[in-house]
Amino acid sequence: MGPITTAHYLALSAALLLIGTIGVLTRRNIVIILMSIELILNAVNINLIAFSHYHQNVNGQIFAIFVITDAVAEAAVGLGILIALFRNKETVLADEVDLLKW
């Protein structure tokens, strides 16, 4: 095992991003789609922190804080929408909500 470089973190972050994207694109359950979005945002944060550490510059961590704030807002509103959807349509499956589909 060699030393851990920035490239290791970038590879891990890319893998996490791809797993999250697979989750968003293939799952039917909206709760798990929202969880996959959290995975994607965490992949972005790993990337930011890796470069912040590499350049010894704290700006990347500031950006990560903003990303986390966004993730919180997104989760709160997304879950609120989910509750409203479940109350009106009695389903949490994304492909059963096809009112606008041709």
Within positions 62 to 91, which residues make up the interface with another protein, using CB under 8 A?
62, 64-66, 68-77, 79-84, 86-88, 91
Q: Is 97 in the site for another protein (CB under 8 A)?
A: no
Q: Are 45 and 64 in contact (CB under 8 A)?
A: yes
Binding string, 21-60, against another protein, x = CB under 8 A?
xxx-xxxxx-xx-xxx-xx--x--xx--xx-xxxxx-xx-
Assess contact for 7 and 54: CB atoms under 8 A. no
The residue count for the chain: 102
State phi, psi for 29 to the nearest 5 degrees.
Answer: -75, 125
Residues that bind another protein (rule: CB under 8 A) add up to a total of 75
